[in-house]
Structure 1
Amino acid sequence: MTHPKIETYDATLRDGMQGEGMSLTAAEKVRVVRKLDELGVDLIEAGFPASNPKELELFGLLEKEELQHAQIAAFGMTRRRDVAAADDPSLQILAQCFAPVCTIVGKTWKLHLEKVVRVTPEENLELIADSVSYLVSAGKRVVYDSEHFFDSYREDPEYSVACLRAAARAGAERVVLCDTNGSSLPHQIADAVRSVRAQLGEEVALGIHCHNDLECGVANTIAAVTEGVTQVQGTMNGIGERTGNANLVTVIANLELRLGHELLGTERMAKLTETAHFVDELLNRNPDPRAAWVGRSAFAHKGGLHVAGIRADATTFEHSDPAVVGNERELLVSELAGKHTILEKASDVGLTLDDAAAVRVIERVKELEHRGYQFEAADGSFELLLRKEAGEYEPLFRLESWRVIVEQRADGKVETEATIKVWLDGERYVTTAEGNGPVNALDAALRAAILQVHPHLADVQLVNFKVRILDETHGTDAITRVFIDASDGTEVWGSTGVHENIIAASWQALVDSLEFAEQGARVRQS
């Protein structure tokens, strides 16, 4: 069966930026455009040209860009009720903009006609037709977004379709049905699209724009495609106002890899994970590990039975090969892990364990996790555990003692000082350092000693620090688990520590993070 080509329309830079805490500079938005173009997205909605200084700067930068695939769409609204389309300043800006595509949004729901724009249904149809016609006469390809279409359709289907027909007759190349409130369920989307398709005919191209308020944004988008929609709108990683927009990443993967539609093709599809993570990192967000297809945990396996199945045949517990979207399989280590997980993890880092050693590792993991440790995000600490069992572990130093002093003065200033006493290569080192907190001070004091023997560890930096109280009912004497992420500029690894004293737990994680880096250096040099 041949499936129609589905056009991808990304609204990250406009609709996505309406999400809480979402902000990018004009230069960063250009980087997103380049990445989406490289991915193979067809249309990229850049926003309202000249609506504010940042947008003005963005469109100036984009005009100079030479994109290989994508086209830029400028966004705007239908004309004001008291002015002709040719005299409406916002429409004039769209007409004069370099973008070849203009997307304009118009009202559909009579509630909005009465409460917001205060025009009659007949006048609204004129606003739509005049605005589309003006931009088409200016040489623009016009996409018409029918705002609150599905809310309107449930109340007055005849008028809702009349709004679409007005835009299509005026020259819009596509009319887009918008679930602006995210209030619809998949069967409602499918029923409405099926009816619209029948009334407008095949010659009117349809698009779908869903929000995720009921967590149905992706499902609603797919339901619309199954009824004949040929453009999907969404945002990278589903960012957007309130609970966000339909996640374009998931929509693309589901449509191409599950329903057989053509969107990106094999080569570009393999860039999906990289692109999704790039946008999150640029927004200073941690990529969602549980995101479908592209999350770190999307192809992660923890139970021993699952891991054994994966080793025998990956299709036993995976819906797809993670490589098709540029992701990787992950075997997680926990008290649920089986022998095969341990053996594969050891093999991955160049260690050889026999079955008996693997069983001992499992028992050790169970013991430690019972005490509060967790190794799923602490790959560095787990590798050290493997090395100890394999007899290939060398401690970075021998600890004599450490001490931290925190002093708050009458003026409110807090000072922290740490002193450590350690032995390295038969020499005793005593170092003291100040920091903006206990962990920072300990890190500084430890480095002051070990860098004299291992100067390359200066490249290792702590990039994340997380604390969790494991038994909140114990109050201030509760057990604390600390996670540290460290990086040498190339790799990132995690380490963990558990103790009733938060500083002691932090020390454990800190030492593991540095010891892992040194173990890795020995492996690379061997």
Structure 2
Amino acid sequence: MEKKVLIYDTTLRDGTQAEGITVSVEDKLRIAEKLADFGVHYIEGGWPSSNPKDMEFFQEAKKLNLKNTKLTAFGMARRASLKVENDPQIQDLIKAETPAITIFGKSWDLHVTEALKTTLEKNLEMIYDSILYLKKYTDEVIFDAEHFFDGYKANPEYAIKVLKVAEEAGADFLVLCDTNGGTLPNEVENIFKAVKEAGIKSKLGIHAHNDSDTAVWNSIVAVLNGAVQVHGTINGFGERCGNANLCSIIPNLSLKLGYETVTRENIKKLKEVSNFVADIVNMPVPKNMPYVGDSAFAHKGGVHASAVLKTPRSYEHILPEEVGNKRKILVSDLAGKSNIIYKARELGIEIDEKDERIAKIVQEIKRLENEGYHFEAAEASLEILIRKHLEGIKNYFDLDAYRVLIARRYTDKSPISEATVRIKIDNDYEHTASLGNGPVNALDRALKKALINKYPSLAEVELIDYKVRIVNETGGTAAKIRVLIESRDKEKKWGTVGVSDNIIEASWQAVVDSLIYKLIKDGV
């Protein structure tokens, strides 16, 4: 029988303390529903006393269907100067009306004397009183022993005493916190063993921060040494270097070590949950993040691609589908035939592995990437290139001429950009002009204006991102330019690329590919 580990998500509290993250009440409610659907056991919703937003969240959260997930309010042990029943923040925890309450107390003597400015004995009373009192108003009280590992290293006798007092008061879980994130896995193992040897009988948990880049491993080591509750955040978001990343902890525990966390079926939603939270907080998931990053199962080298197509486990530690991700075979100057075959089949083009056209495509890609093209981030341009070689594509239009003018008169607040485009469609010419917010926008508008009567679906295409890269840095202002454009319609996004020593020409190439891709996609 699998051992069960309870997943305690603190994205809505600790995660939102990350630099650059701001969330609304509505954002928090949406994330809470997603986490509950995913199947985490606890959601720490926030600190009711810290700001009105968190109190409003707890009131609104009562309307949510969080299934079997317990919503948790977070706070601290009573203040030294107040009786527990008179402490406003303790009362706010009760008003949140959550099935579980988490409070933290100091377990490092340095913090007791220097931060709280009280005695070690008084700190124990504060913790005991708070837990005992809160147990009357909620189903579970979880005690976070703040700075436990640093506290244990400084004064092991006192740190253990803090846990024993919390246990005596009736805490349901004792969570050992690496608040500064400086503890290493071997220390976590030794200290967990010492806690059990000291006679602590309560269920233990781990709350790790990532300042030493070991938060995930510290959490796993804690579980291997008896922790049954693991705290963390989606994507590892959190203050300073972040919290333990649940997107790595969950699959490591379940898929590698055989522990029961969320269901195996729900683990297949892991990438979806990761992307959802990232989109809400506007903090992109790093491509190289294990399990859920876009590059986690990406294969670029020809040898790797060839092997993984025959035997996935030759270069993949799990199947990407187990965490809701997918395999990517990248095409670049490192590509071999296997990369092209995989990509062609992905596009629905059946091709014989011995087809001589494959070698020609590989050589063409290598030549273009040597010139500065970059197809990893321009999958639409790559598709156009492959289809040209394998199927041929329709000649939608021919360029006769384009011109871009940028002018600023002394009366203008900013420069005015105008583009003129003359193209040939079949035997007819279209000659249009358009103003834009910059030369590329003007060029994009003018081209679409010329094409839209013939191809009305192009009205849906919107340019949403534009990046410029220098290909050969030593060239200075005469260097080659790579332009990457991201476009979208009502259904999807796609990327295209252009390269030239002229930024307008490079932009033109990328814009043209973007529109051609849309027409191919629509079957025009």
TM-score (structure 2 length as normaliser): 0.97
Matches within 5 A, 1:81-480: 81-201=80-200, 203-354=201-352, 355-410=355-410, 411-480=412-481
In the aligned structure 1, how far is the partner of 2:189 from the partner of 2:408? Answer: 64
Contact conserved, 2:59 with 2:96, CA < 8 A, in 1? Answer: no
In the aligned structure 2, how far is the partner of 1:425 from the partner of 1:25? Answer: 53
In the aligned structure 2, how far is the partner of 1:429 from the partner of 1:161? Answer: 81
Contact conserved, 1:45 with 1:75, CA < 8 A, in 2? Answer: yes
Contact conserved, 2:21 with 2:282, CA < 8 A, in 1? Answer: no
In the aligned structure 1, how far is the partner of 2:42 from the partner of 2:89? Answer: 21
Go from structure 1 to structure 2 and tell me whether the alpha carbon gap of 1:138 and 1:369 turns closer, same or farther (over 3 Å shift).
Answer: same
Confirm or deny that 1:502 pairs with 2:500: no
> How far does the alpha carbon of each residue in 1:61-86 deviate from its partner, in whole angstroms, 9 at most, with x for none?
10111211211000101111100111
Runs (5+) with no aligned partner, structure 2: none
Displacement after TM superposition at 1:139 (Å): 3.3
Displacement after TM superposition at 1:89 (Å): 0.4
For 1:41, the equivalent position in structure 2 comes to 40
3-state DSSP class of the match of 2:375? coil
Displacement after TM superposition at 1:336 (Å): 1.4
Contact conserved, 1:38 with 1:69, CA < 8 A, in 2? Answer: no
Deviates most, 280-289 or 225-234: 280-289
In the aligned structure 2, how far is the partner of 1:97 from the partner of 1:353? Answer: 62
Go from structure 1 to structure 2 and tell me whether the alpha carbon gap of 1:59 and 1:429 turns closer, same or farther (over 3 Å shift).
Answer: same
In the aligned structure 2, how far is the partner of 1:241 from the partner of 1:303? Answer: 36
In the aligned structure 1, how far is the partner of 2:471 from the partner of 2:157? Answer: 58
In the aligned structure 1, how far is the partner of 2:439 from the partner of 2:117? Answer: 61
Displacement after TM superposition at 1:51 (Å): 3.2
Contact conserved, 2:460 with 2:490, CA < 8 A, in 1? Answer: yes
Displacement after TM superposition at 1:353 (Å): 4.2
Displacement after TM superposition at 1:4 (Å): 2.2
> How far does the alpha carbon of each residue in 1:292-338 deviate from its partner, in whole angstroms, 9 at most, with x for none?
11111111111111111112111111111111111111111011111
Deviates most, 351-360 or 130-139: 351-360
In the aligned structure 2, how far is the partner of 1:73 from the partner of 1:139? Answer: 10
In the aligned structure 2, how far is the partner of 1:264 from the partner of 1:77? Answer: 29
3-state DSSP class of the match of 1:139? coil
2:313 partner amino acid: T
Displacement after TM superposition at 1:3 (Å): 4.2
In the aligned structure 2, how far is the partner of 1:171 from the partner of 1:302? Answer: 55
3-state DSSP class of the match of 1:20? coil
In the aligned structure 1, how far is the partner of 2:345 from the partner of 2:3? Answer: 45
For 1:31, the equivalent position in structure 2 comes to 30
Contact conserved, 1:209 with 1:234, CA < 8 A, in 2? Answer: yes
Contact conserved, 2:132 with 2:170, CA < 8 A, in 1? Answer: yes
In the aligned structure 1, how far is the partner of 2:395 from the partner of 2:150? Answer: 65
In the aligned structure 2, how far is the partner of 1:422 from the partner of 1:6? Answer: 64
Displacement after TM superposition at 1:465 (Å): 1.8
In the aligned structure 2, how far is the partner of 1:34 from the partner of 1:394? Answer: 47
3-state DSSP class of the match of 1:351? coil
In the aligned structure 2, how far is the partner of 1:213 from the partner of 1:396? Answer: 55
Displacement after TM superposition at 1:140 (Å): 4.1
Q: How many residues align?
A: 521
Displacement after TM superposition at 1:275 (Å): 0.6
Runs (5+) with no aligned partner, structure 1: none
Deviates most, 162-171 or 280-289: 280-289
In the aligned structure 2, how far is the partner of 1:338 from the partner of 1:123? Answer: 69
3-state DSSP class of the match of 2:392? coil
In the aligned structure 2, how far is the partner of 1:272 from the partner of 1:335? Answer: 32
1:409 partner amino acid: R
> How far does the alpha carbon of each residue in 1:418-452 deviate from its partner, in whole angstroms, 9 at most, with x for none?
11111123211111111111111111111111111
In the aligned structure 2, how far is the partner of 1:79 from the partner of 1:475? Answer: 63
In the aligned structure 1, how far is the partner of 2:52 from the partner of 2:401? Answer: 57
Go from structure 1 to structure 2 and tell me whether the alpha carbon gap of 1:395 and 1:285 turns closer, same or farther (over 3 Å shift).
Answer: farther
Go from structure 1 to structure 2 and tell me whether the alpha carbon gap of 1:490 and 1:200 turns closer, same or farther (over 3 Å shift).
Answer: farther
Displacement after TM superposition at 1:173 (Å): 0.2
Deviates most, 258-267 or 137-146: 137-146
In the aligned structure 2, how far is the partner of 1:28 from the partner of 1:478? Answer: 44
In the aligned structure 2, how far is the partner of 1:210 from the partner of 1:44? Answer: 16
Contact conserved, 1:343 with 1:358, CA < 8 A, in 2? Answer: yes
For 1:18, the equivalent position in structure 2 comes to 17
Go from structure 1 to structure 2 and tell me whether the alpha carbon gap of 1:228 and 1:448 turns closer, same or farther (over 3 Å shift).
Answer: same
In the aligned structure 1, how far is the partner of 2:56 from the partner of 2:408? Answer: 47
Displacement after TM superposition at 1:409 (Å): 3.2
TM-score (structure 1 length as normaliser): 0.96
Displacement after TM superposition at 1:490 (Å): 1.6
Contact conserved, 1:9 with 1:231, CA < 8 A, in 2? Answer: yes
1:220 partner amino acid: N
Contact conserved, 1:128 with 1:167, CA < 8 A, in 2? Answer: yes
Displacement after TM superposition at 1:352 (Å): 4.2
> How far does the alpha carbon of each residue in 1:82-112 deviate from its partner, in whole angstroms, 9 at most, with x for none?
0011110000111222211111111111221
In the aligned structure 2, how far is the partner of 1:232 from the partner of 1:212? Answer: 14
- What root-mean-square deviation, in Å, do the aligned CA atoms of Structure 1 and Structure 2 show? 1.4
Contact conserved, 1:5 with 1:263, CA < 8 A, in 2? Answer: yes
Confirm or deny that 1:54 pairs with 2:53: yes
Go from structure 1 to structure 2 and tell me whether the alpha carbon gap of 1:50 and 1:489 turns closer, same or farther (over 3 Å shift).
Answer: farther
Contact conserved, 2:98 with 2:138, CA < 8 A, in 1? Answer: no
Displacement after TM superposition at 1:148 (Å): 1.0
In the aligned structure 2, how far is the partner of 1:83 from the partner of 1:197? Answer: 33
In the aligned structure 2, how far is the partner of 1:97 from the partner of 1:248? Answer: 26
Contact conserved, 2:49 with 2:75, CA < 8 A, in 1? Answer: no
3-state DSSP class of the match of 1:119? coil
3-state DSSP class of the match of 1:117? coil
